[in-house]
């Protein structure tokens, strides 16, 4: 289900694996309430340090994507006080896809859209810094 990280990519190993986990949850491969592989199993399967898997699971728990039940394992969260990070990412992806398609249909190029998005992200970052 999960692929070994690419040590040559320049992207930290834990980020590569965390993104894989989020992706399979968003795509419904692992459904709410289902258990993720144990830390040991995941580490052995991906040939990585178990501490890396624990770090990933902790971050996913803080983000509200999974729930760690000590002694039982890590499970995809089923109940949310609001929307989970994974649900928000999925919703955001749909919005971005529609917006990009709309702008392409209006005649903007991919590079023009990229510059617009990058400028807006930079602008939003500056606004947050100044708050």
CATH number given to 13-76: 1.10.10.10
Instruction: Give the residue extent of every domain in the chain.
Output: 13-76, 85-130
Rounded to 5°, the CA angle 28-75-63 comes to: 85
Report the b/e string of 5-35 with b at 16+ CB within 10 A.
Answer: beeeeeeebbebbbebbbebbbeeebebeee
pTM: 0.61
Per-residue pLDDT of the chain (131 residues; tens, 9 = 90+): 899 999 898 899 999 999 999 999 988 899 999 999 999 999 999 999 999 999 999 999 988 899 999 889 999 997 544 566 667 777 888 888 999 999 999 999 999 999 999 888 888 776 656 55
Instruction: With beta carbons less than 8 A apart as the criterion, state whether 105 and 70 touch.
Output: no
Q: How is residue 90 written in tokens?
A: 């999925």
């Amino acid at each position: 289900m999960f692929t070994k990280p690419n040590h040559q990519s320049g992207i930290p190993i834990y980020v590569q694996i965390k993104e894989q986990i989020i992706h399979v949850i968003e795509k419904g491969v692992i459904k709410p309430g289902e258990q993720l592989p144990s830390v040991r199993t995941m580490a052995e399967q991906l040939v990585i340090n178990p501490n890396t898997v624990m770090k990933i699971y902790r971050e996913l728990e803080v983000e509200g994507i999974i729930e760690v039940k000590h002694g039982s394992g890590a499970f995809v969260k089923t109940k949310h006080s609001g929307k989970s990070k994974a649900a928000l990412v999925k919703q955001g992806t749909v919005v971005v896809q529609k917006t990009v398609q709309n702008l392409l249909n209006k005649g903007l190029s991919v590079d023009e859209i990229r510059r617009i998005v990058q400028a807006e992200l930079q602008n939003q970052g500056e606004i947050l810094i100044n708050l």
